Every structure is written in structure tokens, then in C-alpha cells.
Amino acid sequence: MANFGPPARSATDIARRLTGHDKGAWSSWYEPGQDHLAYSEALQKSLQTKKHLQQTLLTTQYRSILTDDLTKLDGERVVKIIAQESKAYDAKQEIRSKWRGRLSESATALSRLTVNLSSYIDPLIPQSPEYKVPYACIMIIFKGIVSKSEKRDEATTLFTTLQNDLPGMRLRADLFPTDEMKRALAEVYIDCLDLLWRLAKYFTMHSLMVGSSYELNKVFMDATATSLHSLRRTVDNLETIIGTQATNQLSTLLSTWGDQISDTTEELQLWQSPKLKIAPKNRWTVNGILRCLEEWQRLKRNSILWVSSKHDGHDCWMTEFCLDLILASTSQEQTLTFAMCDRPGSIVWTPVLVVKELISRLLQRHPSLVFEAPEFLNVRAFKRAKTFEKVFQIFETIVVRLESVFIVIDRIDCCRQDKQHHIGAKLLESLSRLVTRYGRKVRIIITCAKDIPTNLLPPLAISYFTVDTRNKSRKVASKNDIQPIIPSIPSTSSGSLPDD
């Protein structure tokens, strides 16, 4: 059988290695060292450290008990020194405790004295912040010390009372715990635990009540929010329905007057599409109309502003002025109604049609008015409104129900004249009566491109302003050259802007 182990060695080989006769084989891979050098260096360092500690940390009394020979160490002397140090430490702690108690009592007495004398010291302290604020802070500190002392005294009194009321608790530390004593202590513990359990139960029930109340309120609030959201959505739907019905009712009302009544958006698009050819010197921004508007606004009494000027066959600057005024008022969400009387082609408006246009603009701006005055704003009333008086009555009914109305009538001279009156005299009289009755609630501007004789100035609530485009100096018409409008009643007053 084959041998897979190490080669066998004889007893002679082993003896040679032990006796050193086979040294050559060992020295080929191992040389013994000298370890006493490392040990001596460590020992020297330890001795130096011990000496340093003895010189710096240990007193002469402690150093005397140390010796290099542990067999000569005096144990009784060590015990005596430890007892002396313990007694000295206890004495220091007792003195320190007494001083702390005295300092605490002195501080409390001083604080209580300061608090009691505060009513006499307060009037002597200056009222300036550099004195008042530090004094207040010091008084807060003193009052806190007094309050803390009082609370500590109350706690001591409470514990003393409990100790007197529960003698078993005091005897527990002095008597041997017999069965009877154990039973008494157990009863006290049970009573205390019962009290704690009842308190915990009470506060738990209270917290549950508060929590249930909060949850109930939260449910109510959620239900209220849901109801409000539903109500708001219902209101929005009703407003949408009412708006749709009002629009349909308005379309039915205006259809009774035929196709002559135009839509507001279509009317503005009709006048914005063509570009008016106006000379730069004739534009309303440079001809003095702005100063006229300022004077008209400052008048104490409300009146119609009548602006007249000749256009000499060119595009009238007054139309551009009215369009800019209408667009500015529309962008500011003002209630505005307007009538552009210079119609394209051969269309000529009458005063009745002008008032119908004004009514149409107001109703398109506020369609809900058809439900606020059904006795006037109905199909039967619109069909029967064929005369000027009937139509203007409907217009006045609408104006009364609005907070404010701004009316712009451009180129009233393009309207068809009445047989018995001059240009729009009946319309002017009705509008003048409107501004007189309702004051600054109604503001009206009318433009005219014809000269009116001065002797026909009417006694109406109208302020006149005339711009002569032929005058190169561009002066605003003064009191002597302002041209009035057409009334059927002779005038006795001047044509300037009235101050009252």
C-alpha cells in the first residue's frame, strides 16, 4: 500500500535537532532575538510616569503611604486617611447645604420685602423706558422667587398633611412588615389606585366628549359646505336659465319693432370698419372739446352737453369723438346707450327710432330688466308703442331702474325733422326733462353738424358748445359766438355754459 504521509524520521534526527548538532539546518531560516531591550524601555517609561504623577497629583500625606515594596504597605493608615477624607467631605457638604438654605431664605425674604414695597417704589421710578423696563424685569424676577417659595411651602404642607393622615405610610419605614401592616398598606395602595383610575376615566370620558363634539361639528361643517356648494351651483344654474329666458324674451320684444333695430356689437363693428378721413387739425383731441368736457363736469346742475360744428362735406370729427367715447365707457363697464344717426345709404332715422335704439342698447346690456318691469316691458306694450310719447315712457321706465346711464347721440341733424318742430325738438325737450328730474344719474351728450340761429336758444337744461373748423386759430367758442339749438320757444338766455 502507498504511503501519502510525511517521510519518517528516526530518533537520531530528532536528538540532533534538540542538542543543536543540527544547527545549520535551523539557522538557515530562524535567528533568536533579544527581547529584554523592549521590556526595559517600557519599564523606564512607567517609572517616569509614576514619578510625575506623584509630584503633581499626590500630596505629601498620600505620597508617604506609597512605597516601592508592597509588602511594607500600612493598610490601617490608608483606612484612617480614607475615613478622614470622607468626614471632611461630609462636613463640607453640610456647610454648603446650610449656606444654600440660608441664601435661599435670604433671597426669598428680600424678594418678598421688595414685592411688598413695590407700591411705594413705583411712583419714584421715572417713566422713561431705560428706567421702567429694567425695574419691571427686576420686579418680575422677585415675584417669581416669591411665587416659587410659596408653591414649595404649599407642597411641603400638603406632604406633611398626607403623612399625618396616613400613619401607616410613616410606620412602614420603622416597623417590621407584618401581615396586618401589609394589609393596611395594600388598602392604601388600592385606594390610591382607585382614585387614579377614576381620574383617568373621568378625563378620558371628557376627552371623548370633546372629540365627539369636534367630529360632530366637523360633520356639520362638511354638510354645510356641501349644501352651500349645491346651493351656489343651483343659483348659478338659475342665473343661467334666467339669463337665457331674459335673452329670449328680449329677442321677442325687439322683434315686434322689426329689423330696423340693430345689435350693439354689429353697430360698433359697422362704425369701426370704415376709417374716417379727418384732417389732423380737425381732430377732437386738439379742437378744445376736452376743456369743454371739464367745464361741463364742474357744473353744479346737471344738463345735456350739446356740441355743434360744421363738417364742410368732410367726415365729421364729432363721429370719431362719439365712437372713442363709447369704446372708453364700454371698457369701464359703464351702463351706456348710444345712437349713431348718420346712417349709411338712404336710411333716415326719426326721433322715435332714435329712442328705440337707446332702449335696445340698454336692454341688451341688462336683459334681466324684462322681468323687473313686466307691465311695461312686454310684447303688447311694445306693439302699442307707436308714438314718441309711448316709446319715451318705456325708455324712462328703464332708466329709473338703473343706477346710472350715459347717453350718446351722434349727428342728431341727420334725423328726419318733424313737421311742426325743428330738428329733434321733442326729443331734446324729453331728454332735458329727464336730466332735470333724475340729476347726475343721467348724463347725455348730443352732437350736431349744423349751425342754429342764436335767437332760437331754448330755455332747457342744455349746455352749448360750438367748434368752428374754418377758424385756423382753433379757439373755443366764447359766450358771444356759441351757437344754440332749435327750440320752439324763443330764448331769453345766452348760449354759454351755465354755472348754476
CB proximity list for 206: less than 8 A, separation 6 or greater: none
Mark 428-460 as b/e (b = at least 16 C-beta within 10 Å).
Answer: bbbbbebbeebeeebbbbbbbbbebeeebbbeb
For 312, residues 6+ apart whose C-beta sits below 8 A from its C-beta are: 469, 470
pLDDT band of 494, cuts 50, 70, 90: very low
Q: Provide the β-strand partners of residue 432.
A: none
Instruction: Count other C-beta atoms under 10 Å from residue 61's C-beta.
Output: 11
In the predicted model, what is the mean pLDDT of residues 194-198?
80
How far does Cα 125 stand from its chain's mean position? 43
Q: Which residue has the higher pLDDT, 459 or 3?
A: 459
How many C-beta neighbours within 10 Å does residue 425 have?
21
Q: Do residues 263 and 271 lie in contact, with contact meaning Cβ atoms separated by under 8 Å?
A: no
In a domain, 416, yes or no: yes
When the pLDDT of each residue in the chain is averaged and rounded to a whole number, the result is 73
Q: How many domains does the chain have?
A: 2
Confidence of residue 27 (pLDDT cuts 50, 70, 90): low
Q: Grid coordinates standing for 87?
A: 468626614
What's the rounded mean pLDDT across residues 180-200?
79
pLDDT, average across residues 39-43: 72
* In-domain check, residue 384: yes
Q: Compute how many other C-beta atoms are within 10 angstroms of the C-beta atom of residue 336.
A: 22
Structural domain includes residue 441: yes
Q: What is the pLDDT of residue 3?
A: 47
For residues 306 and 450, is the Cβ–Cβ distance under 8 A? no
Burial status of residue 491 (CB atoms within 10 A of its CB: 0-12, 13-18, 19 or more): middle
Same domain, 436 and 321: yes
**Structural domain for 306, as ranges:** 258-467
> Is 84 among the domain residues?
no
Q: Which of 165, 200, 224 is the last residue of a domain?
A: 165
The rounded distance, in Å, linking the Cα atoms of 364 and 358 is 10
Grid cell 349751425 is found at 451
Lowest mean pLDDT across 51-65, 128-142, 323-337: 51-65
Residue 253's contacts (CB-CB under 8 Å, 6 or more residues apart) are: 363, 370, 377, 378, 379, 382
Of 107, 134, 165, which residue constitutes the final position of a domain? 165
Residue 332 forms part of a structural domain: yes
The pLDDT, as a whole number, for residue 281 is 66
Mean per-residue pLDDT, 390-397: 90
Report the C-alpha gap between 461 and 500 in whole angstroms: 10
**Quick check: is 417 in a domain?**
yes
User: Could you report the per-residue pLDDT of 252-311, keeping only the tens digit for each?
Assistant: 778 788 767 777 777 877 777 566 666 666 677 777 788 888 888 888 888 888 888 776
CATH assignment at residue 396:
3.40.50.300
**pLDDT for the residue numbered 74:** 63
The answer as to whether 277 is a domain residue is: yes
Cβ atoms < 10 Å from Cβ of 270: 14
Is 317 in contact with 284 (CB distance < 8 Å)? yes
Q: Read out DSSP for 389-443?
A: HHHHHHHHHHHHTSS-EEEEEE-GGGSPPPSSSSTTHHHHHHHHHHHHHHGGGEE
In a domain, 398, yes or no: yes
For residues 381, 384, 385 and 390, what is the CA-based torsion angle, rounded to 10 degrees? -80
Domain co-membership, 398 together with 279: yes
Express each pLDDT in 275-287 by its tens digit.
666 666 667 777 7
- Mark whether 286 and 408 lie in a shared domain: yes
Q: Is the pLDDT of residue 248 over 70?
A: yes
CB neighbour class for 373 (10 Å; exposed up to 12, middle 13-18, buried from 19) = middle
Reported as a pLDDT band with limits 50, 70 and 90, residue 207 is confident
Reported pTM: 0.50
Residue 109 in this model has a pLDDT that exceeds 70:
yes
Q: Give the residue from 133, 165, 197 where a domain finishes.
A: 165
Higher-scoring residue by pLDDT: 280, 73? 280
